[in-house]
Amino acid sequence: MLSQKAKYALKAMLALAAEKDGDLLQAGDIATKHNVPRKFLELILLDLRKQGLINSQRGKNGGYALAKPAEAITFGQIVRIMDGPLAPIPCASLTGYRRCEDCRDEKTCAVRRTMREVRDAAATILDGMTLAQARQGAGRKTPVL
């Protein structure tokens, strides 16, 4: 499951991507516009900034803006920052691999093998979806399988 945090983050990033290049958007505005609790959103934006996805400006008329072009930021990056690895199970993760405590033989584990497929599919979709594409309402041309 995607957390609220990740969902809010995606919406906030899309809002920032809609802004003219260089224009700042304030936390309060995003919060109002997208029905996100304001203080909660601030934590999220702080996270995104610390990970280098957005820049912030303090003080009066401050706000946030994308740190990179919307073509260079993907859903995958955002979701991983908020919720961690995409894999349904740590032993199937590339970015956050951890062994299953209870697993007898990882090499032949059908659960792991299948969850790796799920991870790969999710990664393909999310790492392939940029903010720019999402804004244009880009659907996937080639259906998944």
Partner DNA sequence: TTTTAACTCTACTAATTTGATGGACAATAT
Partner DNA sequence: ATATTGTCCATCAAATTAGTAGAGTTAAAA
Residue 42 binds to DNA (criterion: CB under 7 A): yes
- Whole-angstrom Cα distance, residue 107 to residue 60? 57
Residue 105 binds to a second copy (criterion: CB under 8 A): no
Note whether 42 and 119 are within 8 A (CB): no
Residue 50 binds to DNA (criterion: CB under 7 A): yes
99 makes contact, choosing from DNA, a second copy, none, with CB < 5 to 8 Å by partner type, with none
- Whole-angstrom Cα distance, residue 84 to residue 123? 12
Would you give the binding string for a second copy spanning residues 13-32, x where CB under 8 A is met?
-x------------------
Note whether 44 and 9 are within 8 A (CB): yes
Provide the token pair at 19: 């802004």
Residue 32 binds to DNA (criterion: CB under 7 A): no
Closer to a second copy at the Cβ: 67 or 100?
100
Which 53-72 residues touch a second copy, going by CB under 8 A? none
Closer to DNA at the Cβ: 57 or 124?
57
Q: How many helices (H) and strands (E) does the chain have?
A: 6, 2
DSSP 42-73: HHHHHHHHHTTSEEEE-STT-EEEESS-GGG-
Contact residues for a second copy (CB under 8 A)? 1-2, 7, 10-11, 14, 33-36, 75, 88-89, 100-104, 108, 110-111, 113-115, 117-118, 120-122, 124-126, 129, 134-135, 137, 139-140, 142-145
